[in-house]
Chains A and B, each alone.
Chain A
Amino acid sequence: MPSIEGALLDFKRLDQLATGDTAIHHLDPRAKVLVTLVFIVSVISFGRYELTAMAPFFIFPVVMVALGNLPPLYIVKKIMLLCPFVLMVGVFNPIFDRTILVQFGPIGISGGWISFASIIARSALTVSVALILVGLTGFPAICWALERLGMPQAFAVQLVFLYRYIFVLTDEGARMARARELRSFGVKGLGMKAYGPLLGHLLLRTWSRAERIHMAMLTRGFTGEFHTRNEFRFGKREILFLLGWTAVFALLRLNNCSQLCGALFIRILP
């Protein structure tokens, strides 16, 4: 079982990546959010037996990781922990779908395997761009961008608040869990009997913390919104970034570039 502290460190590491200082980091967050959404929609819109046409789409995460100076191994490792639910559902495709679609000499590959591979490719692509978006932009900036793009203000305030206190409260939760483990010698006391009151206490503490925060905020003149310095402008570079990638995605979506490349290669070869 991974420890709570380990999970927290992992979480903080991804958060820290956003403090990078590359050209991509300095782009307006709105441009990055929009490009990510266009990317996801183009990938998702492929038919279920599409596999080869998805390969060129890996160019986007790879280029972003390289330009944004993100640690590639770290990102790959996070993608490898692919959502288990996807695997659980995907693995049924080869069982239920046995129509042979491709024939390589004597070996026939069924549609189920192709769609299973396609699901994994989709998962890798969509998961990686979400992680990359956070690593390049940072959560507060994403919230800011979403608010500018029309998200209700109350929800934006909620997201920012949540983000600020996640670290405080998970630390507190981790301390409580460790204290309980130290007193339970690995077996007794980890069950339901102690768990309810443990969470209850954490909840009550959280509640009174919220009351203290509220009083502190009132004394500082909180009126329902956070005022932050606006460092971003949707300028020429952002428009170029958005249009450029959208054009690339459209091109890759409408044409199977893998096929094109392969055919070209086979023609040149002899």
Chain B
Amino acid sequence: MHMADALLSPAVGGAMWAVSAGAIAFSSQKVRKELDDRKVPLMGVLGAFLFAAQMINFTIPATGSSGHLGGGLLLTILLGPHAAFLTIASVLVVQALFFADGGLLALGCNIFNMGFIPAFIVYPLIHKRIVGNEPSQARLAAATMLSAIIGLQLGPFGVVLETLFSGISSLPFSTFVLLMQPIHLAIGIIEGVVTVAVVSFVFKARPEILKGALEARPIGGQPVRNVVLTFLVAAFLAGGVVSWYASKNPDGLEWAITKVTGKADLEGSKQGLHGALAALQEATAFLPDYSFKKSAEPKEAAMPAGELKKDQARPQGEQKKDDGSKLGTSVSGLLGSLMVLVLAFLCGFLLKKRGQAV
């Protein structure tokens, strides 16, 4: 379920980074203010526990395949939202760096989908409500089960939205949703069963850990709800509006230029270094427009403004197609790619040789 760099646009990635960084800053401040420095080693070691737990598999009954604990919800139940959010985020940072799970730009998305959602949305709004002030084992189990399922529906839905807004994948929204949600319903149920098993074990063996976790913090009241609302609004603003603008603005610009010049070409309008290099490119390349198919261009030029507004995804695709046919897909482009790759690796090889000789 890790979102990946390769499917992200910079606007969406940047927006989600901003949201997650804000949440990390906020939670850090909270954890510091709590002045319970017992939590510091506890968070660190529990993060490492999550790592170990994710490596231990179990056999899923009747299917023969194996599964493992995700653990976001478990940590939230044990540590409370702020500390758990920081812990999950730190685990994701390590995964992004060492296992290349997702990537560095996608880290913002992943922290949001797998950390923010369980800690700040599902836990206070669902788990806390059901468990109430008098935790019994049955209530705890029901709340945990439901929270796990809902959390694992919201997280993948975040992935779907982020992928969709980025516009790198051509998967239509409905197909993607139908692919992701049922799979994660199954994963959510498994996660729920496992989390319930671990939580009830802890509840039996050392009830004071859970009781302490449930009673010590006044969660579920106004403050957390406000925080959640603020962040939700921020997320929608950042994730929705920013990326919407980012994907739409170039469109509008392109469309305007098409109207004005009758040619959807931005290259010429740029000045300075780029202009000079473009001139150089013009001078050296006599094959730039060798085998392009320019079918998309007139269509877009003919499209009235109303249509552009109506359909956000399509004009963006059209514009990208324009880009694609404008640049880089000619014979010379492919040939050049090969040459450049060979050059790059030769370069590395020579550097390495030199390094060994010294």
| CB of A116, distance to nearest CB on chain B (Å) | 9
Q: For this complex, into which size category does the number of interface residues on chain B fall?
A: 35 or more
Q: Which of B96, B328, B350 meets A130, CB within 8 Å?
A: B96
Please report the C-alpha to C-alpha distance between residue A189 and residue B59 in the assembled complex, in whole angstroms: 9
Instruction: Using C-beta atoms within 8 Å of the partner chain, give the interface range for chain A.
Output: 35 or more
A62 and B333 contacting across the interface, CB-CB below 8 Å: no
Is residue A198 contacting chain B, with contact meaning CB distance below 8 A?
yes
Q: Which of B13, B293, B345 contacts A62 (CB 8 A)?
A: B345
Q: How far is the CB of A75 from chain B (nearest CB, A)?
A: 10
B336's contact among A40, A122, A265, by CB below 8 Å, is which? A265
**Closest B residue by C-beta to A152:** B28
Quote the shortest CB–CB distance from B28 to chain A (angstroms). Answer: 4
Chain A residues contacting B96 (CB-CB under 8 Å) are 130
Q: B174-218, CB under 8 A of A: which get 1 and which 0?
A: 011000000000000000011011101110011001000000000
| CB-CB contacts below 8 Å: A113-148 with B | 114-115, 118-120, 122-123, 126-127, 130-131, 133-134, 139, 142
Collect the chain A residues with CB atoms within 8 Å of residue B332's CB. 259, 262-263, 265-266
A126 to B, closest residue via Cβ = B5
Contact segment of B221-229, B256-264, B273-281: B273-281
Query: Inside 8 A of A159's CB, which chain B residues have their CB?
Result: 90, 93-94
Contact A83 B49 (CB under 8 A): no
Give the interface SS of chain B, mostly helix, strand, loop or mixed: helix
State how many angstroms separate the Cβ of B281 from the closest Cβ of chain A: 6
Given A123-B6, A162-B48, verify A192-B194 contact (CB < 8 Å): yes
Flag if B49 contacts A203 (CB, 8 Å).
Answer: yes
Which among B13, B61, B323 is the interface contact of A47 at CB below 8 angstroms?
Answer: B323
Given A41-B105, A89-B169, A154-B32, A66-B355 contact (CB < 8 Å): yes
**CB nearest to B197 among chain A residues:** A196
Cβ contacts under 8 Å, A22 to chain B: 355
Q: Is B245 part of the binding interface, using a Cβ–Cβ cutoff of 8 Å?
A: no
CA distance A262 to B339 in the complex (A): 8
Q: Closest A residue to B47 by CB, please name it.
A: A162
Q: Does A195 lie within 8 Å of B339, measured CB to CB?
A: no
Q: In the complex, A1→B329 CA distance in Å?
A: 41
Would you give the 0/1 interface string for A246-270, flagging 1 where the beta carbon is closer than 8 Å to chain B?
0000010011111111111111000
Nearest-neighbour CB distance to chain B for A265, whole angstroms, equals 6
Please indicate the chain B residues that have their CB under 8 angstroms from the CB of A224 in the complex.
Answer: 32, 37, 40
Contacts of A123 in B (CB 8 A): 4-6
The listed residue (A49, A62, A154) touching B324 by CB distance below 8 A is: A49
Closest chain-A Cβ to B126's Cβ sits at a distance in Å of: 22
Chain A residues lying within 8 Å of B330, measured Cβ to Cβ, are: 102, 259, 262
Nearest 9 A-B pairs (CB), nearest first? A161-B44, A196-B197, A49-B324, A262-B336, A173-B52, A200-B201, A262-B332, A258-B336, A152-B28
21 interchain pairs (CB within 8 A)?
A4-B56, A50-B327, A66-B351, A83-B2, A83-B6, A89-B169, A92-B169, A92-B175, A104-B291, A119-B168, A152-B24, A152-B28, A169-B48, A192-B197, A197-B197, A199-B197, A200-B198, A206-B46, A213-B45, A263-B286, A266-B331
